[in-house]
Structure 1
Amino acid sequence: MIPILYHYEASPFAELVRAAFGVKGLAWGSLPVPRILPKPDQTRLTGAYGRTPAVQIGADLYCDTAAILPALEALPGPSFYPAPLGALHRLVASWANGPQFFAHVGAAMGGMTPEMMGADFIKDRQARFGMDLAALGRAAPHLSGQALVASQWLSDTLADGRAFIGGDAPGAGDLALYSNISFVKAVPTAATNAAAMLALPGVANWFARLAGFGHGTRREMTADDALAAARAASPAPLTGSVDAPYAAGMMVGVTQDGTRDAPSIGRLLRCDTTGITIAREVEDGQSNPISVHVHFPRLGQVVAPA
């Protein structure tokens, strides 16, 4: 059973997971989805969760990189939380892919024209996240400066000659910082911003070391393959609890902070500091529905009775 990645190539968070596969040296299934809603091949199993990426391992679906990396941690290969930083990698990743991510959105996309983005993409991001393209353009100089600060801090961290932020081994914090810079680097109109980040001492070599891990072994897969994998498996044993004011077994909807997407609805199995899990029954036209568990991180999610 290999992990299946629901992704599109330009997604910075999907690139984080692809790089994570490279660090682990994993084989994985590639299931391409559109960059805008609807994403029926993905939401059929996740419920309404349409952000990119999601990862499927058998009958378990992991939404958001903060849930995906802990799930991949259990698979063979190096840890994403190596000593001496250990769990501090989670703090770095949460900062890099949280408040710092929007700065990198400005650094990457602030100079793009509507024609470059495409009318469908703009309409999707306006409806789901309230994106204001004109405001993004005006804020781009400020946001680019904020993004450069993150690269300066990274440079300062690497100044003693360490290969990665925690020492000799890359971790989740490295992957989060890497995905932000690779996002800016991939946009032609952001070349000046990317060059400024990579010109800081140590950053370009660090970036090249992470890129050198590659993306693991990629196998193309279809939505039918993903359904078959879910049907052939049972959800993994679950640990954790349901904290008040929620109750185990209640029907809930899970949405994400800052989005207008519809909730993923299911029976609540876990809602504590370790994350959120809901159980769903998915019809696929056969005699019995597929039972899946959908997992979310606790941070950044809104849980409400359904």
Structure 2
Amino acid sequence: MTPILFHYEASPFAELVRIALGIKGLEWGSVIVPRVLPKPDQTALTGAYARTPMVQLGADIYCDTGAILPALEALPGPSLYPLPLGSLHRLVANWAGGPQFMAHVGAALGPMPPGAMGEDFIRDRQARFGLDMAALGRAAPHLAGQAEVAASWLSDTLADGRAFIGGDAPGAGDCALYANLWFVKGVPFAARSADAMLAFAGVGDWFGRMAAFGAASGRGTRREMSGPDALAAALAQPPRAISGTVAGPFVAGMTAAVRQEGTHDEATTGALLRCDAGGIILAREIPGGTVHVHFPRLGQVVTPA
């Protein structure tokens, strides 16, 4: 089944998934969405979830990289959790996508002059996530220092000559660490921070090896699609069979709402089919059929709706 990625080019979490698709060597559909609300092509499937990226596999919709990467893992191609680290890649990716992501946001965006990002972007992120550009600018030196710690630790990990954090094969942890540094490197105003991080022994070479899995590498094939194309693919077949359980205090089949910690975005609602350590699944009825919307358990707030 061909994965369909809803994304915009400058999104670091989308770059994480693009690199993962390259590692897997998969053909994938590309639906470009706006970087600010509204995102009607995406929310037609998710109900409300509008963060970037989102991946569609038929009638199954995966929100957040914590749900996306395990879904991609089940598809043909090299593992995203290669041994010897295995599931430890998830721990690294969670750290990189949590506190270290915010450190890299500060390193990337803090030095930007007023207006460089566009007022639409600032208004969107302020309303949804409480972005305060003045506070971010004041914190930028501290946050850049925190990001450099990640580069230093990565350098220490690579010091024995290994190609990737676990050895010869890249994994989810590499993808998440790479996406953070890719984000900083892509902002011209943050060149000083990016250069400092890439200067750590081994980090620049590792970055180049990871970049080689990108969309321009020939590993995997990107095919542009429209939102209606993706919707038609969702309606062409039923969702896959459910695995997992619904843990208390919730009850299978109840109407539930799922929203993300730290956001003012609207919640996605639907019939709760799974809610355990392995993830959350909501069934949503859309015109013409049913979709299953998948979330990781971490970072999601589940309530009766």
The percent of aligned pairs where both chains have the same amino acid is: 71
C-alpha displacement of 1:35:
0.3
Q: Which moved more, 1:210-219 or 1:132-141?
A: 210-219
Counterpart CA distance in 2 for 1:85 and 1:277 is: 27
Counterpart CA distance in 1 for 2:114 and 2:273 is: 43
Within the candidate set 235, 240, 254, 1:236 is matched to 240
1:185 correspondence with 2:185: yes
Counterpart CA distance in 2 for 1:183 and 1:84 is: 28
Structure 2 equivalent of residue 84 of structure 1:
84
C-alpha displacement of 1:114:
2.9
C-alpha displacement of 1:113:
2.2
C-alpha displacement of 1:269:
0.3
Deviations 1:66-102 (A, max 9, x none): 1000000011110000000000000000000011100
Q: Secondary structure at the match of 1:18?
A: helix
Counterpart CA distance in 2 for 1:45 and 1:23 is: 27
Structure 2 equivalent of residue 303 of structure 1:
302
Q: Secondary structure at the match of 2:22?
A: helix
Counterpart CA distance in 2 for 1:80 and 1:191 is: 30
Q: Secondary structure at the match of 1:115?
A: coil
Specify the code of the residue in structure 1 equivalent to 2:6. Y
Structure 2 equivalent of residue 152 of structure 1:
152
Within the candidate set 249, 254, 257, 2:258 is matched to 254
Task: Confirm or deny: 8 A CA contact 1:104 1:147 kept in the other structure.
Answer: yes
Specify the code of the residue in structure 1 equivalent to 2:203. V
C-alpha displacement of 1:214:
2.3
Counterpart CA distance in 1 for 2:284 and 2:134 is: 40
Within the candidate set 270, 281, 295, 1:277 is matched to 281
Structure 1 equivalent of residue 8 of structure 2:
8
Counterpart CA distance in 2 for 1:41 and 1:114 is: 31
Structure 2 equivalent of residue 286 of structure 1:
none
Deviations 1:210-267 (A, max 9, x none): 1112222110000111011011111111110001111100101100000000000100
Counterpart CA distance in 2 for 1:263 and 1:168 is: 41
User: How many residues are paired up?
Assistant: 301
1:268 correspondence with 2:298: no
Specify the code of the residue in structure 2 equivalent to 1:58. G
Counterpart CA distance in 2 for 1:14 and 1:90 is: 17
C-alpha displacement of 1:280:
0.2
Specify the code of the residue in structure 1 equivalent to 2:30. S
1:36 correspondence with 2:36: yes
Structure 1 equivalent of residue 59 of structure 2:
59
Specify the code of the residue in structure 1 equivalent to 2:278. T
Specify the code of the residue in structure 1 equivalent to 2:271. R
1:221 correspondence with 2:225: yes
Q: Secondary structure at the match of 2:175?
A: helix
1:128-207 alignment to 2 at 5 Å? Answer: 128-207=128-207
Counterpart CA distance in 2 for 1:169 and 1:175 is: 11
Specify the code of the residue in structure 1 equivalent to 2:289. I
Counterpart CA distance in 1 for 2:76 and 2:204 is: 29
After the TM superposition, list the runs of 4 or more consecutive aligned residues in structure 1 that deviate by more than 4 angstroms. none
**Normalised TM-score (structure 1):** 0.97
1:112-127 alignment to 2 at 5 Å? Answer: 112-127=112-127
Q: Secondary structure at the match of 1:265?
A: strand
Counterpart CA distance in 1 for 2:18 and 2:263 is: 24
Q: Secondary structure at the match of 2:82?
A: coil
C-alpha displacement of 1:123:
0.5
C-alpha displacement of 1:121:
0.5
C-alpha displacement of 1:36:
0.5
Specify the code of the residue in structure 2 equivalent to 1:89. H
Counterpart CA distance in 2 for 1:160 and 1:94 is: 24
Structure 2 equivalent of residue 105 of structure 1:
105
Task: Confirm or deny: 8 A CA contact 1:20 1:175 kept in the other structure.
Answer: yes
Structure 2 equivalent of residue 293 of structure 1:
292
Counterpart CA distance in 2 for 1:274 and 1:114 is: 42
Task: Confirm or deny: 8 A CA contact 1:114 1:122 kept in the other structure.
Answer: no
Specify the code of the residue in structure 1 equivalent to 2:292. H
Specify the code of the residue in structure 1 equivalent to 2:295. F
Gaps of 5+ in 1: 284-288
Counterpart CA distance in 2 for 1:42 and 1:277 is: 17
Gaps of 5+ in 2: none
